[in-house]
Amino acid sequence: MIWYPYAIQKNLIPPIKIIRGEGEYLIDENGEKYIDAVSSWWTSIHGHNHPQIIEAIKSQLDHLDHVMLAGFTHTPAEVLAGKLVELTENKFTRVYYSDNGSCANEIAIKIAHQFFKNQNLDSKVEILHFSKSYHGDTIGAMSVGGDSYFTGVYREILFPSPEFISPDCYECPYQKNPKTCNLECLENLKEYIDKYHEKVFSIILEPLVQGANGMVMYKEEVLDEIILLCKQKDILVIFDEVFTGFGRTGKFFAYQNLKNTPDIICLAKGLTGGTLPLAATLISDEIYQKFYSEDPIHAFYHGHTMTGNPPACAAALASLNLMENENRLKEVESLNLAFNRLKDDLGIQYNSLIKNIRVLGAIFAFDLLEETQIDRLKNYCLSKKVVIRPLGTAVYLCPPYTITESNLNHIISTLKEGLNLLLE
């Protein structure tokens, strides 16, 4: 009866039925334990069913299950908003809740456009994006995504958004060395903004790594240059931190790796530690002030039924407490060291099979030279009870930050065994 996502329906292999989660383990109906090497779509940063998060959800349910966040408020939503603002060092002063990353990005796009509309700058009608971007599966989010299986069939019904070649420091479209380049990847974008900035209201970016289109990584200087350029031309910069937020790149938020700051950031996935749906769009005070008005036309008319759901907010607060009290960024640092050792190791042994081995924070990825080998590697790992989910030719690891050393070693040894199998 279930129509499963991202799946060719005919001859669909029956999915594995999971009945329980414990730490980095997913446990099926037969009691078999699988190591979740991708944090269930990059959400379970503390592992599955962390007792402190589960207890926070249960405790909240004893008091309030839900209330609409219109004409009413509640303590978990208020405290969480304050905590998120604090974590950004007040660079963002307002929090707009939703329940998934796609909607967080939609909200950002609408706010960015209305920011100028509220100032009677009606010519600002374009938002820019990169070719390998992915910002979600709603119509607006797909409109600012690159051409792919995600968006291709819907292209005729999406709104127009100028697209620019993605920066990629491992597959540079201009064949430059990222250590010595002059950011040639931004030349077309700069030219467009110089010429048409009066009609551009925003650009939306996945900072440092474009996740869903294959863990495409690029350097910090690219983002700093874009932010600087956009500020000069009165264009708002949106960072889609749905994937990168909450430690995945080594900092609490990816933008904190930079010298400059975007105008809006969008958060989801790791926000509740993978337990309940919740997302947040964080906005600078400069933007908010253009909505602070008695004029009803200046209000932001957007809402979701489950906006700011109390148990989800309680889960998020517990997750943030774990991030700080158990020093998750230190664990990300340890994963980064392990992944860099693996990078050096695989680069020596498997250069005839793989390319573009890359590491960022707690993300490890490489590309297989032959796409036909992907399923074979994935199925081998699954046979060894390791869950990976390649993206095209990209094979990646994004485990929970709390993964044990022994289980991380098992993932690595399984990956090597699978690659050895492909060499035969």
Q: What is the pLDDT of residues 109-142, one digit of tens each?
A: 999 999 999 999 999 999 999 999 999 999 999 9
pLDDT the model gives residue 150: 80
**Residue 367: pLDDT over 80:** yes
Task: Single out the residue of 337, 374, 217 nearest to residue 345, CA to CA.
Answer: 337
Q: Tell me the pLDDT band of 396, cut-offs 50, 70 and 90.
A: very high
**Residue 149: pLDDT over 80:** no
pLDDT the model gives residue 331: 98
The three-class DSSP label of residue 203 is strand
Q: What is the pLDDT of residues 20-73, one digit of tens each?
A: 999 999 999 999 999 999 999 999 999 999 999 999 999 999 999 999 999 999
Percent of the chain whose pLDDT exceeds 70: 100
Cα atoms found within 13 Å of the Cα of residue 312, Cβ hemisphere only: 21
Percent of the chain whose pLDDT exceeds 90: 96
Enumerate the β-bridge partners of residue 279. 98
Q: Tell me the pLDDT band of 424, cut-offs 50, 70 and 90.
A: confident
pLDDT the model gives residue 114: 99
pTM of full prediction above 0.95: yes
Instruction: Report the range of poorest mean pLDDT among 101-115, 127-141, 150-164, 376-390.
Output: 150-164
Enumerate the β-bridge partners of residue 209. 217
**Residue 251: pLDDT over 90:** yes
pLDDT the model gives residue 2: 93
pLDDT the model gives residue 419: 98
Domains and CATH numbers, the chain: 55-325 (3.40.640.10), 327-368+377-393 (no CATH)
As a whole number, mean pLDDT of residues 328-335 equals 98
Task: Single out the residue of 99, 105, 103 nearest to residue 66, CA to CA.
Answer: 99
Cβ atoms of 321 and 52 closer than 8 Å: yes
Cite the active site residues. Answer: 6, 134, 240, 269
Cβ atoms of 203 and 62 closer than 8 Å: no
Pairwise CA distance, residues 278 & 310, whole Å = 10
Residue 50: left if φ>0, alpha if ψ -120 to 50, beta else—which one?
A: beta
pLDDT the model gives residue 301: 96
Q: Tell me the pLDDT band of 200, cut-offs 50, 70 and 90.
A: very high
Per-chain mean pLDDT for the chain:
97
Cβ atoms of 243 and 209 closer than 8 Å: yes
Q: What is the pLDDT of residues 259-307, one digit of tens each?
A: 999 999 999 999 999 999 999 999 999 999 999 999 999 999 999 999 9
